A and B are shown apart, each in its own frame.
Chain A
Amino acid sequence: MKFAKYIFFVIALIAISCEDKLELQPAQSLATEESLSDVKGMLTALYGAYDMLQDLNIYGRDYIVMAELEADLVYLSLSNSNRYVQNYTFLWTPDNANITAVWNDYYTVILRCNNIINNIDKIEGDAAEKNQIKGEALAIRALSHFDLVRVFAKQYTQSNPTADLGVPVVLESKIDEPTRNTIAEVYNQITSDLEATKGLLTDKGKFRFGPDAANALLSRVYLYKGDYANAEKFASDVINTNKYAIADDIIAAFKAPGSSEEIFTLKFTASETRGSDNLGRFFNPSGYGDARVATDCISLYEPSDKRLGFIYKHTNNQMYTNKFFAQDGVDGLFSPKILRISEMYLTRAEARAKQNKFADAIADLNAIRAKRSASALAGIADADVFQTVLDERRRELAFEGHTKFDLWRNGLDMVRNQCNTGIELDAPCNLAASSNLRVYPIPTREIDVNQNMVQNSGY
């Protein structure tokens, strides 16, 4: 019996001492409160938001490629890896994985920003550092709402913005079923977030949102909104800082991030390569090489134009672009130049043309053309200035994810002059300005789980 008692005692002891053995904590995660408890934690969370912008489905590749494949400067090769086929052919359905991922991704970015914006005032720490983090989070949130509204809703200038639906504005991320705000409400939130960064931001280099990047984004947003005075004003604000210069050698500028052109660049380091999923590998024949350059694009340039250097003929006699060729020697790696100074000149030119300041508009274009070895524009009739600006914009920003939006927001038909010749995937050769397909469907999964969600017309 003595022995039995001893055993009983040992068991009781083990049982008691094991209680605390059940309190295990994960080794690679921290509780939310703990991780956002100081400035360093907030800064880490901010990098987390930038990191999400790099996702493959948005600035990592898809958002840029989709905006080009739905337009006329590139075509999808007949022999392809079955990527973005629905985008090029406009045959997407509301459950399209890429479109769904854009929606999911930007709201994930917004969650990461909201957790910072809504909590940073509660923590102790250096005010300047806190302001900086908050300002950047506001700017990233504005960019996210903007990138959502310009694909999931009609263009501001092509809609009744106070009645037509935009996307839900999410300022506090929680499990909820939000309704869609109007397009005007979304734009108001974007501009107010960007205005709120005033006084918070200082320049932390080209790879983070600084005060100039906030202004540059405002300029773009106002251009999309048709508020040309403000678009011009904010473009001028950025240009007049004189911190940025139109690159002398644009080809070289695209080989590495950090050139004088750039206002905000989402930097990918060499170790962040996604291999065959790098942006450039969708354009490079060494990669999928599915997106090739159409004659619509090539015919834009004068023979002397340096930008023709971005286009080359491969051994298969088809035309490719090397704009995203190989940063750091890594095939197809590219750090998207989200905001660059040439865009500011082009935005200002467009805003000026819309305000009938034709000579100033042409001067802005010539500022770029001079650096690109293109002949100076002269004697352009006032009636032709707007189209001249758009052409220059297509020339300068080709493949960078602007082409579709520039047509859409100006209510222009999209016409593929090189179409169905046997080397492209069979697809529609044009898309009228009135087409419902200029607006993506709200993803099926969102409609399924959110009873307040309204689908876009035509889906």
Chain B
Amino acid sequence: MKRLSLVLLLVLASGIALLAQRTIRGTITDDQGEPLIGATVLAKGTSVGSVSDIDGSYALSVPEGVTTLVFSYTGFSTQEVQLGASDVVDVSMSPDIAQLSEVVVTGYSETQRKKLVASVSTIDNKALENVPLPDVNQLIQGRAPGVFSTAASGQPGAAQNVRVRGTGSITAGRGPLYVIDGVIVQSGDFSQQATSNDILSNINPNDIDNVSILKDAAATALYGSRGSNGVILITTKRGRAGKSVISAKMQYGITQPNIGNFDLMNGQEIWDYERQVLANSGRTPEQIDAARPASLLDNDFDWVDAAFRQGQTRNLELQASGGNDKTRFFLSGGYFTQDGILIDSDFSRLSLRSNIDHTASDKLDFSLNFNTSYTENLNAVAGNRFASPLLGAFVNTPLQPAYNPATGQLYTGLEDAWTIFSGDNFLYSSPLNPVVNENLRIIAKVAANYNILKNLRFSQTANIDYVDITENVFQDPTTGDGSNTNGSITDSYTGTNTLTTQSMLKYYNSFGADHNFDAFAVFEYQKFDDRRFTANGVGLASGKLKTLNSTATPQGVTGTRTEFAFVSLLGQANYNFREKYFLTASVRNDGSSRFGANNRYATFYSIGASWALSEEAFLDNINLINNLRLRASYGTSGNAEIGNFPSQELYGFGNSYDDQPGSSPTQIANPDLTWEVSKNVNVGLDFAVLENRLSGSIEWYQRRGEDLLLNVPVSSTSGFQTALRNIGKIENKGFEVNLSATIFRSSNAKGFNWNIDANFSANRNKILELPGGEDILNGRQIWRVGEPIRAFNMQVWAGVDPANGKPLWETAEGTTSTYSQAVRKIVGNAEPDFLAGLNNTFSFAGFSLSAFFNTVQGHEIYNGSRPFVESDGQRYGQFNNIVEAGQNYWKAPGDIALRPQPKVGGNSGSNSASSRYLEDGSYIRLRNVTLGYTLPKSVLDKMRLSNVLFYVQGQNLLTITDYSGFDPEAEEDGDEFFRYPVGKSFTFGLDISF
């Protein structure tokens, strides 16, 4: 009952029934006198409103007691007009330069920028539209302060990792919560076979109206136990009353491979180098000639060139939107294809969307969002395997030709003449062994809204998020992978279904002219269900047979099912005094099946306030300042990404012996196990000065994660290696700056304009508490109190011993050539010191040019590819080498060399993990340049078109970095191993609106 008291309060607090009404009419125009179509007019303090029609005219039945009308339109300052005796109210609206009345979506509701007490970054569709990348997560990189997006792979459609304000957890989920049109949806990678696939790549970025990123607790507390890593709100486009607009988008582009500073040896170079390696190992000239005869140079082969290609991107899309004051619609259909720069990898998406709103009466309105999309992803033999083109390009020595010189046929990799240990020639096998991921996603939402009273509105929504993934891994019997099994087929199916219902009551009222109040309460239920199975069969009579039915021997079938449920009650109250002092309080109670029986319900809250200093009399006279607002908030949120059944002591049943089912302990009991808590402080200052020519905000935050869930290492004599505990604390603190400047503003629309948008953020991450204060090793990194979560902890490279050419590592006292005696130290951090984005936009006479840079600075990357391709002979005969490996190595006593003497089998383990391969990962990247031209109105009118835009666009044209690997945009953990690089792309596009 306690949980419901807020609802009860709201219901009881609602006002008195409606009485008599009067109808107000008028027209709404812009400052030039042009009619504004689809502007909103609202009777202040009620939900009664209307929109302007094609002539800009409106009519509104105003309830008794209403004294003010509120007019709003995107891009224009909201205007309030006192009602007088006249029933005609015409309004001329002025453009909103400081964007104070910009509508900011905050999840369960929306508000104006000026009323916001929370920290919310917004990215509008201008930054998202027409960029030739499939996943919205890729588009937000560099666009908002404190938001960092990385990916393990540059393959189109690969899963992206987004971090909002640093890494807030060690073992539980670290990615933000995704909300589309108000409903929490699934995100991440649900594939079983493909290396990675982001289900968010099913959303067409061109359907998105805006993206809001909730960062502080004042914003995320409403998402309770799921909000601590930030929330990304995606709002899709909706129709607007007025003339129907039909537009077509066409885009074509090419992508060129770009492997950065990574430069491999050619045939001659590797031949020379390896002969030297043999000589260094004491081989006789005869042995060297036998192992590396000159004849090898007759047929050397450039594997990198063969593995990469120029890819194409195509996009074709139709959008239609429009409607009247009763019904509004937005429809779109798009087909997007993108080739990967690696052979046999591509992505395609067919997406359909319809968003429909219908106002049935003053009291009742409905909406429907329906999105269906289908993606198909071809993976180049599932990523980082030796048989994949990605590794093959670097594994395969140029001395091994792809084609048999005698026959001209491709080697399969099974021949004796094929010397590469993977036993596979990717040029032969990749086309024959596709890994295909097909992904159908349907997100459908129906909402009904009823205005119970003039200021009390009830909404009921139901949402289904359905993801259906089928994957197929095929291994042709004639290829290296397929030969063991005489051909193999693996089919996987993943079906996830998330059902969400929301019941919401919203109340708003003004008490006199000074006191404005609104509040809402929501009951939400969400259930997630995930079913999977995989079947494998081997033995194919021919590689042309493609289904499980044609396999001779069934090999195994696995199936799993998992579920979770959340039952939540939440509410928010907002109060402001004369729109000068703002106060917001939020609370959410979550019950979840994931939490232990002893801790099933969690409550999170926040409180925030803001003060519009610029509205104060004492600042009225200072013309310099157009807007000045101070914001502060404190609150809690949680992280429930802890697995679905983490608290139970369990036996699992996945194993078997001699065809009999087996079971084994899989989990130690921990009934106290529960969510992680994040406590957040945020202080912000919003400003606009110099006639709004310079505006922006500065924020400082501290985000402290407590009760962190940790897999605490235990003695494996227990039969377990780790046990899960709510133990540990972590802190992220930092500041963010967002600036928008009008450098040059022309008085007429066709003149020269220059705008700069910039953002900067710096985050410092620190572990505050670990179990027993003891370090936890995390591969090449360490979790240590006082250090950031991504601290590299490894042997410290001390160069080469001039006396004998052996490697040296640091010990406590000096140096050693014995790797096992070297000590590990913290030598770097994969978390960047700061992130920044800079976008310049110029426009003149129909032309527009934008250049968007982003930079990530001050972090290290472990270049895990180098130990393979710069191994000082340890990978002799197996791998190609980078050109540098053959330079500056030790040759004779006294040499001060960069690299040890290369020998067969390596030189004293010199390529073992050490700071030798740790590099500065900082980069500056020209992420996007777009040059566009919009046809003049006079021409458009003749062509009876409403808009025509031509543009050319370049992605990643320039990268400045010292990093020696393919691509400095490494994975979040800073550990790179032959990452699929992103390419440079050039795109041409045409948008036509009818």
Residues of A within 8 A of B (CB): 1, 3-5, 7-8, 10-12, 14-15, 18-19, 21-32, 35-36, 41, 43-52, 54, 78-82, 85, 89, 91, 93-94, 103-104, 107-108, 110-112, 114-115, 168, 170, 173-178, 207-208, 267, 269-273, 275-276, 281, 286-288, 315-316, 330-332, 422, 425-427, 443, 445-446, 448-450, 453, 459
Q: Is B746 part of the contact surface with A, judged by Cβ < 8 Å?
A: no
Give 15 CB contacts A-B under 8 Å. Answer: A4-B458, A12-B4, A24-B593, A27-B563, A32-B665, A36-B651, A41-B663, A50-B657, A78-B904, A79-B877, A103-B716, A110-B717, A173-B717, A270-B555, A450-B715
Q: How many angstroms between the C-alpha atoms of A443 and B553 in the bound complex?
A: 40
Q: Give residues 622-674 of B contacting A (CB, 8 Å).
A: 644-645, 648-669
Contact check, B560 vs A28: say whether CB atoms are below 8 A apart.
Answer: yes
Q: Is B512 part of the contact surface with A, judged by Cβ < 8 Å?
A: no
Say how far B908's CB is from chain A's closest CB, in angstroms: 8
Q: Give residues 548-602 of B contacting A (CB, 8 Å).
A: 553-556, 560-565, 567, 569, 591-593, 600
Q: How many angstroms between the C-alpha atoms of A22 and B602 in the bound complex?
A: 13
Q: How many angstroms between the C-alpha atoms of A225 and B223 in the bound complex?
A: 64
* Inter-chain contacts of A107 with B (CB < 8 A): 716-719
Chain A residue at smallest Cβ distance from B660: A47
Of the candidates A22, A91, A316, A449, which one forms a contact with B714 in the assembled complex, judged by CB atoms under 8 Å apart? A449
Contact check, A271 vs B878: say whether CB atoms are below 8 A apart.
Answer: no
* Inter-chain contacts of A32 with B (CB < 8 A): 649-651, 665, 669
Q: How many angstroms between the C-alpha atoms of A15 and B4 in the bound complex?
A: 9
Q: How many angstroms between the C-alpha atoms of A315 and B415 in the bound complex?
A: 10
Chain B residue at smallest Cβ distance from A77: B421
* Inter-chain contacts of A48 with B (CB < 8 A): 651, 655, 657, 662-664
* Inter-chain contacts of B592 with A (CB < 8 A): 22
Contact check, B716 vs A29: say whether CB atoms are below 8 A apart.
Answer: no
Contact check, B649 vs A31: say whether CB atoms are below 8 A apart.
Answer: yes
Of the candidates A27, A81, A110, A443, which one forms a contact with B560 in the assembled complex, judged by CB atoms under 8 Å apart? A27
Contact check, B648 vs A94: say whether CB atoms are below 8 A apart.
Answer: no
Contact check, A110 vs B650: say whether CB atoms are below 8 A apart.
Answer: no
Of the candidates A27, A43, A288, which one forms a contact with B562 in the assembled complex, judged by CB atoms under 8 Å apart? A27
Contact check, B717 vs A178: say whether CB atoms are below 8 A apart.
Answer: yes
Of the candidates A3, A22, A41, A103, which one forms a contact with B567 in the assembled complex, judged by CB atoms under 8 Å apart? A22
Contact check, A4 vs B4: say whether CB atoms are below 8 A apart.
Answer: no
Contact check, A19 vs B567: say whether CB atoms are below 8 A apart.
Answer: yes
Contact check, B561 vs A27: say whether CB atoms are below 8 A apart.
Answer: yes
Stretch of B6-14, B104-112, B698-706, B980-988 lying at the A interface: B6-14
With A47-B656, A176-B717 as given contacts, are A23 and B665 in contact (CB-CB < 8 Å)? no
Contact check, A176 vs B656: say whether CB atoms are below 8 A apart.
Answer: no
Q: Is B720 part of the contact surface with A, judged by Cβ < 8 Å?
A: yes
Contact check, B664 vs A51: say whether CB atoms are below 8 A apart.
Answer: yes
Chain B residue at smallest Cβ distance from A108: B719
Q: How many angstroms between the C-alpha atoms of A54 and B664 in the bound complex?
A: 13
Contact check, A271 vs B555: say whether CB atoms are below 8 A apart.
Answer: yes
Most chain B CB within 10 A, of A108, A110, A115, A269, is at A108
Contact check, A21 vs B903: say whether CB atoms are below 8 A apart.
Answer: no
Q: Is B777 part of the contact surface with A, judged by Cβ < 8 Å?
A: yes
Contact check, B662 vs A47: say whether CB atoms are below 8 A apart.
Answer: yes
Contact check, A94 vs B820: say whether CB atoms are below 8 A apart.
Answer: yes
Q: How many angstroms between the C-alpha atoms of A18 and B555 in the bound complex?
A: 42
* Inter-chain contacts of B666 with A (CB < 8 A): 29
Contact check, A51 vs B717: say whether CB atoms are below 8 A apart.
Answer: no
Of the candidates A25, A112, A271, A276, which one forms a contact with B665 in the assembled complex, judged by CB atoms under 8 Å apart? A112
Q: How many angstroms between the C-alpha atoms of A232 and B591 in the bound complex?
A: 66
Question: How would residues 824 to 847 of chain B score, 1 for a CB under 8 Å from any chain A CB and 0 otherwise?
Answer: 000000000000000000000000
Contact check, B452 vs A51: say whether CB atoms are below 8 A apart.
Answer: no
Contact check, A21 vs B567: say whether CB atoms are below 8 A apart.
Answer: yes
Q: How many angstroms between the C-alpha atoms of A122 and B630 in the bound complex?
A: 68
* Inter-chain contacts of B3 with A (CB < 8 A): 15
Chain B residue at smallest Cβ distance from A180: B717
Q: 7 closest Cβ contacts across the A-B interface?
A: A111-B719, A47-B662, A48-B662, A35-B651, A50-B657, A48-B664, A29-B650
14 A-B pairs besides A10-B503, A15-B523, A18-B525 with CB distance below 8 A are A4-B456, A11-B503, A22-B592, A24-B593, A24-B644, A26-B648, A27-B563, A43-B660, A44-B653, A45-B664, A108-B720, A173-B717, A175-B720, A267-B658
Q: How many angstroms between the C-alpha atoms of A170 and B719 in the bound complex?
A: 10
Q: How many angstroms between the C-alpha atoms of A170 and B592 in the bound complex?
A: 37
Q: How many angstroms between the C-alpha atoms of A104 and B563 in the bound complex?
A: 31
With A21-B525, A48-B664, A50-B658 as given contacts, are A448 and B777 in contact (CB-CB < 8 Å)? yes
* Inter-chain contacts of B561 with A (CB < 8 A): 27-28
Q: How many angstroms between the C-alpha atoms of A439 and B346 in the bound complex?
A: 51
Say how far A427's CB is from chain B's closest CB, in angstroms: 8
Say how far A217's CB is from chain B's closest CB, in angstroms: 18
Question: How would residues 870 to 914 of chain B score, 1 for a CB under 8 Å from any chain A CB and 0 otherwise?
Answer: 000001111000000000000000000000000111000100000
Q: Is B542 part of the contact surface with A, judged by Cβ < 8 Å?
A: no
Q: Is B261 part of the contact surface with A, judged by Cβ < 8 Å?
A: no
* Inter-chain contacts of B664 with A (CB < 8 A): 45, 48-49, 51-52, 108, 112
Chain B residue at smallest Cβ distance from A177: B715
Say how far A59's CB is from chain B's closest CB, in angstroms: 12
Contact check, A426 vs B650: say whether CB atoms are below 8 A apart.
Answer: no
With A112-B719, A281-B484, A446-B716 as given contacts, are A15 and B656 in contact (CB-CB < 8 Å)? no
Contact check, A7 vs B505: say whether CB atoms are below 8 A apart.
Answer: yes
Chain B residue at smallest Cβ distance from A332: B484
Contact check, A175 vs B723: say whether CB atoms are below 8 A apart.
Answer: yes
* Inter-chain contacts of A450 with B (CB < 8 A): 715, 717
Q: How many angstroms between the C-alpha atoms of A59 and B967 in the bound complex?
A: 41
With A8-B8, A168-B717, A175-B720 as given contacts, are A29 and B653 in contact (CB-CB < 8 Å)? yes
Q: Is B21 part of the contact surface with A, judged by Cβ < 8 Å?
A: no
Say how far B480's CB is from chain A's closest CB, in angstroms: 9
Chain B residue at smallest Cβ distance from A89: B905
* Inter-chain contacts of B4 with A (CB < 8 A): 8, 11-12, 15
Say how far A69's CB is from chain B's closest CB, in angstroms: 14
Question: How would residues 506 to 539 of chain B score, 1 for a CB under 8 Å from any chain A CB and 0 otherwise?
Answer: 0000000000000000010101000000000000
Q: Give residues 477-512 of B contacting A (CB, 8 Å).
A: 483-485, 501, 503, 505
With A15-B3, A79-B421 as given contacts, are A45 and B651 in contact (CB-CB < 8 Å)? yes
Of the candidates A4, A112, A176, A448, which one forms a contact with B452 in the assembled complex, judged by CB atoms under 8 Å apart? A4
* Inter-chain contacts of A448 with B (CB < 8 A): 713, 775, 777
* Inter-chain contacts of B525 with A (CB < 8 A): 14, 18, 21
Of the candidates B555, B668, B718, B905, which one forms a contact with A273 in the assembled complex, judged by CB atoms under 8 Å apart? B555
Q: Is B547 part of the contact surface with A, judged by Cβ < 8 Å?
A: no
With A14-B503, A29-B645 as given contacts, are A4 and B11 in contact (CB-CB < 8 Å)? yes
Q: Is B819 part of the contact surface with A, judged by Cβ < 8 Å?
A: yes
Q: How many angstroms between the C-alpha atoms of A50 and B655 in the bound complex?
A: 10
Contact check, A21 vs B527: say whether CB atoms are below 8 A apart.
Answer: yes
Contact check, B777 vs A445: say whether CB atoms are below 8 A apart.
Answer: yes
Contact check, A50 vs B662: say whether CB atoms are below 8 A apart.
Answer: yes
Contact check, B567 vs A269: say whether CB atoms are below 8 A apart.
Answer: no
Chain A residue at smallest Cβ distance from B718: A175
Say how far A7's CB is from chain B's closest CB, in angstroms: 6
Chain A residue at smallest Cβ distance from B480: A276
Q: How many angstroms between the C-alpha atoms of A287 and B561 in the bound complex?
A: 35
Contact check, B715 vs A446: say whether CB atoms are below 8 A apart.
Answer: yes
Q: How many angstroms between the C-alpha atoms of A170 and B717 in the bound complex?
A: 7
Q: Is B419 part of the contact surface with A, judged by Cβ < 8 Å?
A: yes
Q: Is B804 part of the contact surface with A, judged by Cβ < 8 Å?
A: no
Q: Is B287 part of the contact surface with A, judged by Cβ < 8 Å?
A: yes
Q: How many angstroms between the C-alpha atoms of A269 and B662 in the bound complex?
A: 14
Q: How many angstroms between the C-alpha atoms of A201 and B775 in the bound complex?
A: 46
Of the candidates A43, A54, A174, which one forms a contact with B718 in the assembled complex, judged by CB atoms under 8 Å apart? A174
Contact check, B656 vs A51: say whether CB atoms are below 8 A apart.
Answer: yes
Contact check, B565 vs A22: say whether CB atoms are below 8 A apart.
Answer: yes
Q: How many angstroms between the C-alpha atoms of A85 and B875 in the bound complex?
A: 11
Q: How many angstroms between the C-alpha atoms of A11 and B654 in the bound complex?
A: 41
Q: How many angstroms between the C-alpha atoms of A52 and B819 in the bound complex?
A: 33
Contact check, B563 vs A267: say whether CB atoms are below 8 A apart.
Answer: no
Q: How many angstroms between the C-alpha atoms of A445 and B419 in the bound complex?
A: 38
